[in-house]
Amino acid sequence: MTVLARAAAQRPAAVAARPGGGRRRGAGGPRWWVAYLFLAPGLAFFGVFYAWPAVTAAQLAFYDYDIVSPPRFVGTGNFERLAASPEFWQAFGNSLLFLAMFLPLVVVLPLFLAVAVNLRLRGIGAFRLVYYLPVVTSMVAIAIAWSFVFHPKGALNWLLLELGVIDTPIQFLLDGHWALPAVVVVEAWQYTGYFMMIYLAGLQSIPAGLYEAAALDGAGAWARFRRITVPLIRPYAAVCCVLGGILATQSFASIYVLTRGGPQGATTTLGFYIWSRAFEHFDFGYASAVGLVLWAFLVCFALVQYRLTRGEPTG
C-alpha cells in the first residue's frame, strides 16, 4: 500500500513536469478546427441567404434598377424620392399605428397567459398546445380563415348584431377605419402563443422560494406578481418588444391575403410597400432604399428598448 501511495503522489508532479502540461497534441489531442466544421454549414447558409442579399440591397439603394436595364448610380436620389412620396409616409404612418396596436397584444397579454399556463393544473399541457398551434400554422391559412370571420355575414358581425352592439354589418376589411385593426388582430392571434412561451421560460427561471417567502410575509397574489414577477421578467419583455417591432413592421402575408394594402392604402405598411415597389413596379433601387430606412428604424427601436431595460431589475 505504501508503494502505491507514493506512486499516486508522484504522478501529478510528473505530469506537470511534462512539456505542454501533460496534454498531448497528437492524434488523440483536441482539435480546435472541429468546431468550425460544425459551424461551417450554418455560416455558409447565413452568408448566402442573409448577409450577401443584405449587402446587395444596401448597395441597390443608391442605384436605379429595374432588372431589365443595367443599374444606374443615382446617389441619394431614391431617398429624396421617398422623402417626397405621400405613399411612403402613409406606409410609415400605418407601420407606426400597426406597431402601437400590435405591441400591447403581444407583450402584455401573453404575460398573463404565461402566468396562467405556468400553474400546476390538470390539463394545462393541452391548454399550452392550443395557444401555440397558431404559431406553427401558415399565415395564409390563418388569414383565409379570418376573412370568413370578418365577412359581413361572418361570425363576428353575427355576434355583434345579436348583442345589439351594431345595427348593420360592418365591412371590416373594406372600411378604412377597421381594416388595419383587423389585420393587427390576425397577426397578434398567430404570435400570442409564441410570446407566451418566451414569458413561460422566464417565469420558470424565477426561484420558487421568492414567492414562498413573499407569501409568508403576507403578500397576496397581485403583490407577488407586481413585486417579483414583473421586475424579474423585464428582460424577457424587452425581447418580446423587439421581436414584436420586427414582426409588426415586416408583416406581409396577412395584408396580402386580406386587403392587398387597401382600402386606399389604409393597410399598406412598410413591409408590404417594399414588396409592392419591388415586385409590382420593379423599382428595386427605390424598394431597397425604403428597406434601408426600415432597417434604421428597427435599429433605433431596438436601441430605445435596450436603454429602457438595461438597468438591473428591482423589486
**How far is the C-alpha of 298 from the C-alpha of 249, rounded, in Å?**
8
Q: Domains (ranges, CATH) in the chain? A: 86-283 (1.10.3720.10)
Tell me the C-alpha to C-alpha distance, in Å, between residue 198 and each of 17, 115, 225: 51, 12, 17
State what percent of residues in the chain have pLDDT above 90: 53
**How far is the C-alpha of 233 from the C-alpha of 226, rounded, in Å?**
10
Contact 233, 199 (CB under 8 A): yes
Contact 22, 15 (CB under 8 A): yes
Tell me the C-alpha to C-alpha distance, in Å, between residue 213 and each of 201, 217, 226, 232, 266: 22, 6, 15, 16, 52
pLDDT at 4 exceeding the cut of 60: no
**How far is the C-alpha of 7 from the C-alpha of 14, rounded, in Å?**
10
pLDDT tens-digit readout, 136-175: 899 999 999 999 999 999 999 999 999 998 899 999 999 9
**How far is the C-alpha of 300 from the C-alpha of 245, rounded, in Å?**
11
pLDDT tens-digit readout, 229-239: 988 998 899 88
User: Reduced to 3 DSSP states, what percent helix, strand and coil does the chain have, rounded to the nearest 5?
Assistant: 70, 0, 30
Contact 299, 242 (CB under 8 A): no
Q: What is the pLDDT of residue 131?
A: 79
What is the chain's mean pLDDT, rounded?
85
For residue 227, what is its C-alpha cell?
413585486
What mean pLDDT comes out for the span 110-128?
82
Please state the pTM of the whole predicted model. Answer: 0.81
If one counts every other C-beta atom within 10 angstroms of the C-beta of residue 153, the result is 8
Contact 110, 195 (CB under 8 A): yes
pLDDT at 61 exceeding the cut of 90: yes
Q: What is the pLDDT of residue 253?
A: 92
Q: What is the pLDDT of residue 1?
A: 45
pLDDT at 21 exceeding the cut of 70: no
pLDDT at 304 exceeding the cut of 60: yes
pLDDT at 294 exceeding the cut of 90: yes
